[in-house]
Amino acid sequence: MGKPAIIVDNVSILFNMNKEKVDNLKEYFIKLITRKLNYNEFWALQDVSFTVEKGDRVGVLGFNGAGKSTLLKTIAGVLKPTKGSVKSYGVIAPMLELGAGFDMNYSGRENIFLYGATMGYSRKFIQSKYDEIVEFAELGEFIESPVKNYSSGMRARLGFAIATAVEPEILILDEVLSVGDAKFRMKSEAKIRSMFDKGITVLFVSHNTNQVLNICNKAIILDRGKIIAQGDAVEVCAKYNEMINSKK
């Protein structure tokens, strides 16, 4: 057994879903004060447990609504578990949503330094990586334009370029490699593989088992908030492909 990078211990996440439509904030507070606001309970994750060792690249598979993104947000600290706990050991670079963490009114250049600062890196360090980030993101003159004017693909390229340039110990990717053209997807995969020798730990959500097999040595399958398979990436991907074929 190697050293743990992430320990997820019996994690459950409960969301309260409104049973009825509330049209405005005033109506919401009236219903809340008079206790007429009714909810349906929805467990997005239920008793999820697994350990990611340092240097592991773990693919997270599952159909829409399985709880994949909720799991990554919990590990990244965006969501707090209703039950259980998550422990991580190392600097995490989360790429959870396109443009997440960016200030849309700032330029790409300004967001490079902002994103780096939120990860705890000095301006001097980010400046040393600046040219590498801009070149990888392929934004050219758009680097001085406000991010709100970027396409989703451009935001994803910039976020990925920053996250991988600062050399985190744990990289969390939520379907980021599914955006952009084929050339950029290949370049992104190659970038991640180049970081393996440095011992980076990767947690990667994807619907594409070929991508998981290219990047990951281990995988898990989530189904309705529960882990139904985990282990070697080849074996788990084969099981997931069987699940896909059974639904056709």
Complete DSSP assignment for the chain: ---EEEEEEEEEEEEEEESS---SHHHHHHHHHTT---EEEEEEEEEEEEEEETT-EEEEE--TTSSHHHHHHHHHTSS--SEEEEEE-S-EEEE-STTTT--TTSBHHHHHHHHHHHTT--HHHHHHHHHHHHHHHT-GGGGGSBGGGS-HHHHHHHHHHHHHHT--SEEEEESGGGSS-HHHHHHHHHHHHHTGGGT-EEEEE-S-HHHHHHH-SEEEEEETTEEEEEEEHHHHHHHHHHHHHHH-
Asked whether residue 95 is assigned to any structural domain, the reply reads no
Give per-residue pLDDT as tens, 123-166: 999 999 999 999 999 888 899 999 999 987 888 888 888 888 87
- Angle between the 152-165 and 108-118 helix axes, to the nearest 10 degrees? 40
pLDDT of residue 168: 82
Asked whether residue 111 is assigned to any structural domain, the reply reads yes
231 and 155 within one domain: no
Q: Is the pLDDT of residue 18 over 60?
A: no
Q: Which domain holds residue 61?
A: 4-90+169-247
174 and 76 within one domain: yes
Mean pLDDT taken over the chain:
85
Asked whether residue 242 is assigned to any structural domain, the reply reads yes
pTM for this entry: 0.77
160 and 208 within one domain: no
Q: Is the pLDDT of residue 34 over 80?
A: no
43 and 30 within one domain: yes
132 and 66 within one domain: no
115 and 86 within one domain: no
54 and 81 within one domain: yes
82 and 13 within one domain: yes
> Which domain CATH number covers 34?
3.40.50.300
- Count up the domains in the chain and report the number: 2
Q: Is the pLDDT of residue 229 over 90?
A: yes
Choose between 168 and 29: higher pLDDT.
Answer: 168
175 and 76 within one domain: yes
